[in-house]
Structure 1
Amino acid sequence: MKIENGEYQVVINGILHWIKVEGKENNTIPLIVIHGGPGGNLYTFERTVGPYLAKERTVVYYEQRGCGRSGKPNSDNAYSIHELIDDFTKILRWMGINKVDLLGYSFGGELALEFSYAIPTIMNKLVLSGPSLMALKTQYMVQIAGFVSIADPPLVQKMEEILEEDTSIETKYKKVWGTVDNDTVDRLFFVNQDIARKYRELAKESNLHNTGLMLEALQENPAEIPLYERLQDIPHKTLLITGVHDRNTGIPISNIINRNLANSEWKLFNHSAHFPELEETDKFIREVLNFLKIP
């Protein structure tokens, strides 16, 4: 890798991309962190888990087009998986990287799998935390069921009424999200509500916002062959991490991924929901670093 520790802003495919390197002095295969959302950012990860990983690994952060501190494409539809793969490939080329490990969480786990499928020779190992499979309608069902399981009775009743409507699961999903309040969202994402509050404080501090454009574009222009039908063709050694209380993507989605990947191991975190890296930080760091060390 030809660049040193620090923050960079580099134009890739006409879009200014934010990139940061930590732990270059460790001289390891770079561990690139892939954020979720779709449309999220790395601000919280960069200030919580990332520095611990960078004590032993070379860690690279980058925020996807239209996300966080990176610039937006000219078109609101320019967020296809193909375009995200092309950005990533050119970022690796710019950095002078010919072998990488990936750590993707939530949608970032799904995107890490897409990168691995598209450019397999560059990939070494994958770490997937609470990964999604957006093409599956089951993904929407898991999340709606998750909301119902932790919502207060009046909100449960509203969601039950939405489920009775003669609409698509995607429409129901959007309507449920329009109904829930912040406290309910926090219970969906976290077991420990003190950590949920800290997460919200960091999100507010960042002043970075998810426009929703990437999610809409990916829903409107899905891959021709869904990722879940291509999982068996991804050969890389993979560590799956799932909080047993994850109601957002959850055990059903991780189980599908684990069953279909050729070379995966699965670790359950008993005191976590969707963000094991925040709720069981020490265990998360230990499992990730141990996995990356093994030949």
Structure 2
Amino acid sequence: MKSLMDGEYKVKLNGITHWIRVAGSKNNTTPLVILHGGPGGNQYVFERTIGLLLSNSRTVIYYEQRGCGRTEKPSDDTKYSIDLLIEDFKSLRKWLEVKKLDLLGYSFGGELALEVAHADPKVINKIVLSGPSLINSEINKMVQITGFCSVVDNQMYKQMQNVLKEGLTIDETYNTFWELVDSKSVDLLLFENQEIGKKNRILWEESNLVNTGLMFKALQKNPVKIPLLDRLKEIQQQSLIITGVFDRNTGISISKIIHKGLRNSDIVLFNNSAHFPDLEEPEKFNMTVQEFLDQKVVSLL
């Protein structure tokens, strides 16, 4: 790795000026790159919570994806795709001047981590997936549909029942549900402990960083040609999947499907968490990730 000091950087990667932050450089470990979720999210909460624990003993690299958080927005609103995100990442790796990287992706970031590992296998060492998604799959949308039904109040539930009776497609039902729900319903979906949910929302608001929704829309319109599920078996890196048992956003279902498809993965369930075990059980999350990354790499070759 190039000699970087802890701090924030603005670096042009693949034609887009990206926000990057380095923390824990004194630890001189294999860099752990954090891939945020969304699609269209940012690193603001992660770097102020679990990231502080991880960087006590690891070199941590944060960056925000194109059009996200503090990173520049493409001039063309359609310039979002998995291929472009992979090329952005490859530019980041070249800028870092590294031979090996570990990845920690949460939610959509977990899905992106798998895409990066598939596209750049010689560079990626180990992969941690926290509540990984399969955003364009019907089952992921059904998990969220049933998840909302399980947590909303009676009035909202009746509205959702009426939607379900309309005979809409899964996509139409999914989109209608997201138009119906309020911030309280979203917090109920994402967190088991609502006090943690409130703290998370305060940080979201404090950040002044808004998810435009442009990336999500573009990724829905331009899915990858060969679904990730059909390529999981080609990913050989040791992978750890972390999932909260109350995850109603991506859920155990998605994690189990990914676990089944990967050739070299383990799955750990967090019994007091929903979609963000890093926030609801931070000490356990930190310990689990650190122990996994410290293990000797087991090759399938």
* Coarse TM-score class (shorter-chain normalised): over 0.9
The offset of 1:170, in angstroms, is: 1.4
Distance 1:181 1:80 in 2: 28
Amino acid at match of 1:284: F
Provide runs of 4+ in structure 1 moved above 6 Å: none
Distance 2:204 2:20 in 1: 19
Report the counterpart of residue 151 of structure 1 in structure 2: 152
Give the counterpart letter for 2:163 in structure 1.
Answer: I
CA distance in 2, matches of 1:218, 1:111: 12
Distance 2:262 2:126 in 1: 13
CA distance in 1, matches of 2:212, 2:166: 27
**Partner in structure 2 of residue 57 of structure 1:** 58
1:272 Cα offset (Å): 0.2
- Output one character per residue of 1:14-59: Cα deviation in whole Å (capped at 9) or x when no partner: 2110000011111110000000000000000000011110111100
| TM superposition shift of 1:97 | 1.6
SS of 1:61's partner is strand
The DSSP-based 3-state class of the residue aligned with 2:122 is helix
Instruction: Please say if residues 40 and 210 of structure 1, whose CA atoms lie closer than 8 Å, have aligned partners that are also in contact.
Output: yes
What is the CA distance between 1:165 and its match in structure 2? Answer: 2.1
Letter of the 2:13 counterpart: I
CA RMSD of aligned residues (A): 0.8
Give the match for residue 259 of structure 1: 260
Report how many aligned residue pairs link the two structures.
295
Counterparts of 1:79 and 1:167, CA distance in 2:
28
The answer as to whether partners of 1:135 and 1:227 remain within 8 angstroms in 2 is no
1:101, 1:126 within 8 Å by CA — same for their partners in 2? yes
Q: Distance in 2 between matches of 1:217 and 1:256?
A: 25
Q: Tell me by how many angstroms 1:280 deviates.
A: 0.2
Q: List gaps (5 residues or longer) in structure 2.
A: 297-301
**Counterpart of 2:80 in structure 1: which amino acid?**
Y
Deviations 1:263-286 (A, max 9, x none): 000000000000000000000000
User: What CA deviation, in whole Å up to 9, does each residue of 1:170-215 have, x standing for no partner?
Assistant: 1211110110111111111001111101000000100000000000
Q: Cα offset for 1:134?
A: 1.6
The CA distance in 1 between the partners of 2:156 and 2:52, in whole Å, is 39
Q: What TM-score, normalized to structure 1? A: 0.99
Query: Which residue identity does 2:116 align to in structure 1?
Result: F
Aligned residue in 1 for 2:213? 212
Deviation for aligned residue 1:4: 2.3
Cα distance in 2 for partners of 1:34, 1:45 equals: 10
1:130 pairs with 2:134 = no
Structure 1: 5+ residue runs without aligned partners? none
